[in-house]
Amino acid sequence: MRLENLELPRVEGEARLELLWKDGVVEDARVCITSIRGVEKVLMGRHYMDALVITPRVCGICGHAHLMASVTAIEKALGVEPAQKGQLVRRITQSLEILQNHIKWFYLFLMPDFVLLEKSVREFYEPFRGRRWQDAIKVASKIAKGIALFSGQWPHSSYAVPGGITSEPSAKEVTTLRQILSELRDFFLKYTVGMEEGEFISCLREGSWRRLGGDAGLFLELSHREGLLEAGRSYDRFISGGSLYFPCGYFMKRVVHGKLRVEQLQELESSSYSGAKPVRYRGMPFETGPLSRQLIAGNPITKSMHRELRDSFAVRVMARVLEVWSLTEAIEEWTQRLKEVLHERSTSLGRFPSKFSGRGYGVVEAARGTLIHSVSVKEGTVQEYSIITPSQWNLGPRCENFLGVAERAILGLKSPLHAQMVLRSFDLCSVCTTH
Amino acid sequence: MKVFWLQRLTCCGNTHSFLNYESLNTLLKRVELIYHPSLSQKPQEEAVEELLRRGEEFDILLVEGAVRRDDRETLELCRLAGYVVAVGNCAVYGNIPALANANVCGLGYRFKEKGGLLGEGFRSKGGLPVINLSGCPAHPEWIAGTLLMLSEGIKPRLDQWGRPEEFYSSLTHWGCTRNEYFEWKVEAQELGSKRGCLFYHFGCRGPLSYSSCNTILWNGVNSKTRAGTSCFGCTEYDFPRTGLWETKQYAGIPAELPIGVSKRGYIMLSGVAKMFTPERLKGEA
Ligand code: SF4
Ligand code: SF4
């Protein structure tokens, strides 16, 4: 028995991985996340609107998702329905945030690990110098520009308010956004999957993932060579809050179940080694994120990969990559609808009430999975605020009965680098895990 | 120019802000980012240890995130660096992490209190105090601009908070598309509209915050106030204040007036402005 303690590079924040080795195989793994900043605490006693400015600061990469969860929770507490236009625009910017995350994650966070295994891919994915690394940053910042068109800036905007949004977008914003989307499509087709649109669509329809080319094809080939196509499996149970291009639900025993009951969700006490609190649904650990979303949405490629390889490293990664396309399509559709309601008001509640009492929660999808905010307000002041982040599902520690989702996925691996890569396939983020 | 990017208690927002810099790839050719925790292949602890062990001097240390008062490593790195740049409100004043923990501060300040981690008299090897790029997050052009200045041998002139005057000598208010509404005292009555100024009812700190958000636009296209959101004064030491969306008023007059404006002057001017507001600015503001 040998204990190994790894500090991980390229994480949002800091995280450590403790591995217990026996006969050259990982026998036990602990994901340790520390450095708590205490955002929930800062909200106590403040005016409820302050949450819209403070909660995005939980995370510099998915701050927009926090804003959306926060505003939804407040709207529920107020009993307000957002204006249609506001709702559409919010969905668009929220999805754009996920898109830029996926691009950055695949090219800047994930692929550089392969550089350590395979010298030949260095010219593409080496940090700072790699060709694709550089292209990816460019595209990601274009997408961020798309968010800013509506929200004022990215990161850290606070343009979603009870009832809708603060901006009043016009045709100009919509047409610029469509430009950005087509650039993204081109990038995705040319580099990420390396094929013409028609060919990709037929691949997608048939679920034939082995035909994919480009960086995705290369990724699959490298994963195959490293034995990572089938490695990195966890509980094969998935959960998702819905709200974007697919309904909410959970996936268990190879069946998609609709409807998610918030009452059946539990946040347990954090363990001795991690600052994150484990979350359980009906007492069990579930994985959240693009793989959950793609399975629930029924993406044919993801489905057929999952049928063959279950919830492995490669399937998890490919689900995130393929979601780029699903989201782009969804945004196109919302943009069409937005055109029709552009002349309508941006909010259904122009002036927020200064004082009110109530409680509410917001369930939204962030890049890494389901994010939940809940708030209780008395006379306009925050009494309680609690946040359950996607990474708590995936990277949270063990409880009495179960290992954490990522912990379980690492068992049985044979190299520390593989262990890190599998952990990274969950889109590791420690800043939001412990907020 | 060798640049080392260090992260402490942070949300990584400044990193992602920086990645939006339009000419990032060209910048990376001109200054060498020897280490960045979110991008490089080594873990941060290892990179820091190596650098300290070798005791090698390098040109610029960028610090993102608030620090603990007993953070010796950061202190030592600051002593080795030619210039020390605090990126973002957390590294400058402590910001949210400092609100939650009394043992946390910025490099040179804890909110408006001088000292921070480095002490008042700190000068880096290159002879400058900490260069503070406040903002939550700092604008990519402010970060890249400062790196470029230093790499061209230009020492930025700093304001009383240690911020480059180049980026922090004007108010957010400058260049705001709602400025005419401000001048004529046409106040936005509700959120969600291009019309009206957000100063009176929605807590806009534009006339009270030093930042170039409306002249060097965010993501090249927009700003908070242009998108109908109030400026929350995220470049100042008191961010995030409480009651961010509301303007405190006494007898109908904002409790805090634009920098440099006297109460008497404000009352007189706003009375006159309201009386003569051009018709085109009225209406569904
Ligand atoms: S909205 Fe704010 S920044 Fe714009 S003019 Fe009014 S006070 Fe100034
Ligand atoms: S407009 Fe104000 S709150 Fe927004 S980024 Fe600029 S200084 Fe910060």
Q: Report ipTM for this prediction.
A: 0.96
Two structure tokens written together for B42: 């080594």
> pLDDT tens digit string along A40-99?
889 999 999 999 999 999 988 899 999 999 999 999 999 999 999 999 999 999 999 999
Sign of CA dihedral B181, B186, B187, B189: negative
% of chain A exceeding 70 in pLDDT:
97
> pLDDT tens digit string along B234-283?
999 999 999 999 999 998 899 999 999 999 999 999 999 999 999 999 87
Instruction: Output the CA B170–ligand 2 centroid distance in Å.
Output: 12
Query: Residue A54's CB: how many other CB atoms inside 10 A?
Result: 23
Judged against a pLDDT cut of 50, whether residue B148 lies above it is answered with yes
Q: What pLDDT is attached to residue B285? A: 45
Judged against a pLDDT cut of 60, whether residue B159 lies above it is answered with yes
Is residue B93 within 8 A of residue B106, CB to CB? The reply is yes
Mean pLDDT for the stretch of residues A124-133: 96
Amino acid occupying residue B44: Q
Give the β-pairing of A2-7 and A16-22: antiparallel
What number of H helices and E strands is found in chain A? 17, 13
Q: At what angle do helices A313-341 and A171-187 cross, to 10 degrees?
A: 160
As a whole number of angstroms, the distance between CA A225 and CA A212 comes to 16
Backbone φ and ψ for B203, nearest 5 degrees, come out as 70, 20
Judged against a pLDDT cut of 70, whether residue A434 lies above it is answered with no
Mean pLDDT for the stretch of residues A105-112: 96
Size of interface A-B (CB pairs under 8 A): 215
Residue of A358, A185, A157 whose CA lies nearest to B213: A157
Inter-chain touch A153–B24, beta carbons under 8 Å? no
Instruction: Output the CA B257–ligand 1 centroid distance in Å.
Output: 12
Rounded to two decimals, the pTM is 0.96
Q: Is A108 on the interface with B (CB under 8 A)?
A: yes
Give the residue whose CA is nearest to atom 1 of ligand 2. B231
Two structure tokens written together for A356: 């009110």
Please list every residue in chain B whose beta carbon sits closer than 8 Å to the beta carbon of residue A97.
none
User: Which residue in this structure is represented by tokens 């030093």?
Assistant: B210
As a whole number of angstroms, the distance between CA B185 and CA B188 comes to 9
Q: What is the mean pLDDT of chain B?
A: 95
For B214, nearest residue in chain A (alpha carbons): A152
Residue of A87, A81, A71, A161 whose CA lies nearest to A341: A87
Q: In testing the pocket of ligand 2, which one of B232, B236, B244 has its CB within 8 Å of the most ligand atoms?
A: B232
Q: Is A246 on the interface with B (CB under 8 A)?
A: no
Residue of B39, B155, B142 whose CA lies nearest to B88: B142
Inter-chain touch A57–B223, beta carbons under 8 Å? no
Inter-chain touch B10–A345, beta carbons under 8 Å? no
pLDDT-derived band at A39, boundaries 50, 70, 90: confident
As a whole number of angstroms, the distance between CA B165 and CA B160 comes to 9
Inter-chain touch A350–B191, beta carbons under 8 Å? yes
Q: What pLDDT is attached to residue A398? A: 93
Closest-lying ligand 1 atom to the alpha carbon of residue B206: 3
| Long-range contacts formed by B199-204: CB under 8 A, 24+ apart | B199/B247, B199/B254, B199/B258, B200/B247, B200/B249, B200/B254, B201/A351, B201/B246, B201/B247, B202/B230, B202/B245, B202/B246, B202/B247, B203/B230, B203/B232, B203/B243, B203/B244, B203/B245, B203/B246, B203/B247, B204/B230, B204/B231, B204/B247
SS3 state at A387: strand
Q: Is A426 on the interface with B (CB under 8 A)?
A: no
Mean pLDDT for the stretch of residues A194-206: 98
Instruction: Output the CA B175–ligand 1 centroid distance in Å.
Output: 9
Q: CA B114: distance to chain centroid?
A: 17
C-alpha angle A61/A67/A72, rounded to 5°? 145
The CA-atom distances, in angstroms, between A57 and each of A10, A87, A318, A431, B183 are: 20, 22, 29, 10, 33
Closest-lying ligand 2 atom to the alpha carbon of residue B136: 8
> pLDDT tens digit string along A214-225?
999 999 999 999
Rg (CA), chain B: 21
Judged against a pLDDT cut of 60, whether residue A31 lies above it is answered with yes
> pLDDT tens digit string along A408-420?
999 999 999 999 9
Closest-lying ligand 1 atom to the alpha carbon of residue B231: 2
Question: What's the half-sphere exposure (Cβ side, CA atoms, 13 Å) at B207?
Answer: 19
Judge if the beta carbon of residue B232 lies within 6 A of ligand 2: yes
Q: What pLDDT is attached to residue A432? A: 61
The CA-atom distances, in angstroms, between A190 and each of A123, A185, A195, A204, B180 are: 17, 8, 6, 16, 47
> pLDDT tens digit string along A356-388?
999 999 999 999 999 999 999 999 999 999 999
SS3 state at A357: coil
As a whole number of angstroms, the distance between CA A19 and CA B242 comes to 44
Q: Kindly identify the ligand whose nearest atom is closest to the C-alpha of A154.
A: 2
Q: What pLDDT is attached to residue B82? A: 97
As a whole number of angstroms, the distance between CA A56 and CA A366 comes to 12
Judged against a pLDDT cut of 50, whether residue A32 lies above it is answered with yes
Please list every residue in chain B whose beta carbon sits closer than 8 Å to the beta carbon of residue A382.
none
Mean pLDDT for the stretch of residues A177-199: 98
Inter-chain touch B12–A13, beta carbons under 8 Å? yes
Mean pLDDT for the stretch of residues B116-134: 96
Mean pLDDT for the stretch of residues A181-198: 98
% of chain B exceeding 90 in pLDDT:
94
As a whole number of angstroms, the distance between CA A89 and CA A93 comes to 6
Q: Kindly identify the ligand whose nearest atom is closest to the C-alpha of B196.
A: 1
Amino acid occupying residue A325: W
Which helix (H) or strand (E) segment is A313 a member of?
helix A313-341
Q: Is A134 on the interface with B (CB under 8 A)?
A: yes
> A263-290 burial by CB neighbour count: b if 16+ within 10 A, else e?
eebeeeebbeebbbbbbbbeeebbbbbb
Please list every residue in chain A whose beta carbon sits closer than 8 Å to the beta carbon of residue B100.
37-39, 41-42
Query: Residue B241's CB: how many other CB atoms inside 10 A?
Result: 14
Q: CA A427: distance to chain centroid?
A: 8
Instruction: Output the CA B231–ligand 2 centroid distance in Å.
Output: 5
Judge if the beta carbon of residue B184 lies within 6 A of ligand 1: no
pLDDT-derived band at A155, boundaries 50, 70, 90: very high
pLDDT-derived band at A112, boundaries 50, 70, 90: very high
Judge if the beta carbon of residue B167 lies within 6 A of ligand 2: no
Judge if the beta carbon of residue B173 lies within 6 A of ligand 1: yes
Judge if the beta carbon of residue B135 lies within 6 A of ligand 1: no
The burial class, CB within 10 Å (0-12 / 13-18 / 19+), for B41 is middle
The burial class, CB within 10 Å (0-12 / 13-18 / 19+), for B22 is middle
Length of chain A counted residue by residue: 435
Disruptive mutation site among A40, A59, A89, A167 for chain B (greatest number of B CBs within 10 Å): A167
Inter-chain touch B229–A134, beta carbons under 8 Å? no
Judged against a pLDDT cut of 80, whether residue B65 lies above it is answered with yes
> pLDDT tens digit string along B32-41?
999 999 999 9
Q: What pLDDT is attached to residue A35? A: 62
Q: Distance, in angstroms, between B41 CA and closest chain A CA?
A: 6
Inter-chain touch A9–B13, beta carbons under 8 Å? no
Question: What's the half-sphere exposure (Cβ side, CA atoms, 13 Å) at A368?
Answer: 30
Q: What is the mean pLDDT of chain A?
A: 94
